[in-house]
Structure 1
Amino acid sequence: MAWIALLFAGAFEVTGVIGIKGVSERKGWTYFALMILSFAGSFSLLSYAMASLPMGTAYAVWTGIGTVGSTLAGMFLFGEPKEWRRILFISMILCSAIGLKVLT
Structure 2
Amino acid sequence: MSRYGLVGQLALTALFAVMTVIMGVVLLVYVIYIDMDPRMPRDLPFLTRVTGWFLAASVFFGLGSWALQRRHWTRWVWWVPQIGVLLALWGMIQSLRVAS
TM-score, normalised via structure 1 length? 0.46
**Which has the higher Rg, Structure 1 or Structure 2?**
2
